[in-house]
A and B are shown apart, each in its own frame.
Chain A
Amino acid sequence: MFEVAWSSLWSRRGSVLLTAASLTISMIIVIGVEHVRAQAESSFVRTVSEVDLLVGARTSQINLLLYSVFRIGNATNNIRWQSYEDISARPDVSWSIPLSLGDSHRSYRVLGTNSQYFEYFRYGDAEELRFAEGEPFSHVLHAVLGSEVANSLGYDLRQEIVLSHGIGNTSFVNHENLPFIVSGILAPTGTPVDRTIHVSLQGIEAIHLGWQNGVQVAALGLEREDPRLAELQPNQITAMLVGLETPMAVFGLQRAINNYPLEPLTAILPAVALGELWQIIGTLEGLLSIISILVLTASLLGLSTMLLSSLRERSRELALYRAVGARPFFILWIIELEALSLTVISIGMSYLIVAVGFAITQSWLSENFALVIEVWPSTPRIWLYMGGAIVASAVISLIPASVAYSRSLGHVL
């Protein structure tokens, strides 16, 4: 029976291949959209964990979240080091991590922080950062690489790297006088950490000594082993992550920070901000899902149309099946089988194409959109969509199948 259905499809390969192409494209949309949605959601939710408050200059909570956690865009303003120390000193605060952004190395963001980062930062399901190789920085001019940075730039321990001022692929302003040395490489996390180069706050200060407004105004001639380096104090940072002794204190502290008298600050609850951000994106994704399902439905109707219009030229063929003793059900099944094999093949093709597509664009997506996408789509909803497409194609092709069936009921010789 498969042989018959196959040969039959092959004999009409022109219209059959076009139909398969249309089904494949619509399934690519369905699988692609759902895969991106699921991956984006999980990479969102995994980005920060166990952080009670995120503090930055006065801005919207989504903006603060984007530039400090996702490293998308730039801070509108910095916060003073004094504010960091004040907040860290409050009795409710258990730990705090300073974040200083603004430099880059070959388009990867550089994050200035301190050793607390490696001790307290959590992602995913409260997972700690682990070192694949090496250790946290012990010198002002040490750097710790995220796994993707090390991988894609091919860096290893003790590699010397020069940071660039500002962000972007082609900065003309490099901090060449003080190169950093890689002291550790982190294990993969599937979060923006993988794309980050971590250095000490003093390191950030050191390379900016003698700079004003992004231009080097004086060459200080600092050397690597200059004892003055370790005494550097940061003036300002971009944001800070705060962990509390008791979660109950979070709203009190948030209010206190938002009313901080010395400079305008914003404190947000990362979980709430993530939720709000996800809602904005989620609405869009929901809309895309609906559109992709409509596209799929249109393709399935196209499949049905193709089969229905082929019945006229096949009336002789269908009569012959009956003449050699086939039941009318055989004819219904032939049509159904043709529809199902086309759908299954198209689904398989689209799955492979989506996987290959993301394999190719994986690094580009993560660099440009902070989206960490796995190659193979495997969420339950994708299996559900695939199964649903097969069921839907079986149901929709009942139209041509039952037409063929009822035609073959009567006298067909």
Chain B
Amino acid sequence: MRKMTAVKKSIITAVCIALCYVLPLMFHGIQNAGSIFCPMHIPVFICGLICGWPYGLLCGIAGPLLSSALTGMPPAAMLPSMMVELAVYGAVAGLMMKLVHTKSTYADLYISLITAIVCGRVLAGVAKALIFARGSYSMAAWVAGNVVTSWPGTVIQLVFIPGIVFALMKANLIPRRYPRLED
């Protein structure tokens, strides 16, 4: 397996940004799919986990921006807070993968993913409360929007993202994290 070069990381980031547009379109037939299943979050997490924090950060900013520019989804009013949330997901997932080394790929992935999910949701709430919806945002609104409504999306993320990363490793499309231990 070739190592991850800067060029390969850049192209993977580009593909993840394109998937931020394509995946929500696939879910579009389901009403409120965006807020329930959060399909746009998946490529951002995967980009951060595989390519590192700068690429994850870029994917988190450019993904929703491109999708909003091309389809109007997410709407302009939701775009800034969503960009903050996704940028934190991508950056924290990448940072955690750099910092955490438990010698088990699954453990590393889950620790990074859960930390990123928590940080992203908390910071998105803080950004809404202090900047984007100042005065009209409450703790109850945060719990309803980021925890209750999106719990199916969180389950999908926790079940699917490590699985996708492993499938990519098995297909030799990305290098294994601990080659000697896993071979």
A, B in one complex: no
